[in-house]
Amino acid sequence: MKRTAMIVWGGWAGHDPDLCASMIREWLKAEGFEVRVETETASFLDPAIRDYSLIIPIYTMAKIEKAEAKALCDAVESGVGLAGHHGGMGDAFRDAVDYQFMCGGQWVAHPGNIIDYTVEVTKPDDPVMAGISDFEYRSEQYYMHVDPAIEVLATTTFSGEHAPWTKGVVMPVVWKKRFGAGRVFYSSLGHRAYELDVPEVRTMMTRGMLWAAR
């Protein structure tokens, strides 16, 4: 049976949602997925989403209607996979707490904006992380409020240079979790579309989406 995915992109243009959607669409097609691409959150109201293997939101900030958020959460709870990256999933729909509960975390700050930092692999034996070592990365270092129930695959440690009170804080960067019968994967990396082509980022994202997909 062919796997199916739906990408829904929009919101703040500074995260290149259109380019990210195009890149991820091609990655999924290369893995054998049939991919539907939408640009309106109203697409979550389509009852057909409950039959998809995977949904990828790329929708930084913006608003979502309560019924739309409920339909998406219900679909994932019923077994549809959810996967995403950076603000496209982790800073989407700030007023929708049910959505945040499903995702496992919410962006709140990136002290220093674009900086150099290290991504530290915490579960090298996990299939998503296999063969990936700690790596240096230049982007926004996301400070997030996270669900303690997530399974953390990679972290970053804040130096405190840009917000002294954060010195030594170890923050999840990549995680997976369950939401009902659905699998959820998230990576905070990928502020701009070109960052998704960093080999480690692309590998984690591809594997994470495959893990999450029903």
Please give the domain boundaries of the chain with CATH numbers for all domains.
Answer: 4-212 (3.40.50.880)
> How confident is the model over 77-91, as a mean pLDDT?
98
Q: Above 80 in pLDDT, residue 131? A: yes
Q: Above 90 in pLDDT, residue 110? A: yes
Enter the tokens of residue 81.
Answer: 């996979």
Are the beta carbons of 185 and 208 closer than 8 angstroms? yes
> How confident is the model over 109-138, as a mean pLDDT?
98
> How confident is the model over 141-166, as a mean pLDDT?
98
> How confident is the model over 87-104, as a mean pLDDT?
98
- Residue 42 banded pLDDT, cuts 50, 70, 90: very high
**What is the tens place of the pLDDT at every residue in 162-207?**
999 999 999 999 999 999 999 999 999 999 999 999 999 999 999 9
Average pLDDT over the chain, rounded to whole?
98
- Residue 2 banded pLDDT, cuts 50, 70, 90: confident
Q: Above 90 in pLDDT, residue 50? A: yes
Q: Around Cβ 119, how many Cβ atoms within 10 Å?
A: 24
Enter the tokens of residue 122.
Answer: 């915490």
Transcribe 57-82 into DSSP letters: EEEEB----HHHHHHHHHHHHTT-EE
Q: Which residues contact 5 (CB under 8 A, 6 or more apart)?
A: 28, 33, 34, 35, 36, 52, 53, 54, 55, 56, 209, 213
Q: Above 80 in pLDDT, residue 1? A: no
Query: Residue 8: what residue type?
Result: V
d(CA 178, CA 103) in angstroms, rounded, equals 9
- Residue 6 banded pLDDT, cuts 50, 70, 90: very high
Q: Which residues contact 174 (CB under 8 A, 6 or more apart)?
A: 119, 128, 129, 152, 153, 154, 186, 187, 188, 189, 204, 208
Listing from the earlier edge strand, what are the strands of the sheet with 54-60?
A: 34-38, 4-11, 54-60, 81-85, 182-187, 170-179, 151-157, 114-121, 135-140
Nearest 10 degrees: Cα torsion 176, 178, 183, 186: -30
Phi-psi region of 104 (alpha: psi -120 to 50; beta: other; left: phi over 0): left
- Residue 157 banded pLDDT, cuts 50, 70, 90: very high
Half-sphere exposure of 97 (CA within 13 A, CB side): 0
Phi, psi of 168 (to 5 degrees): 85, -5
Enter the tokens of residue 207.
Answer: 């594997």
d(CA 178, CA 161) in angstroms, rounded, equals 35
The pLDDT of residue 119 is: 98
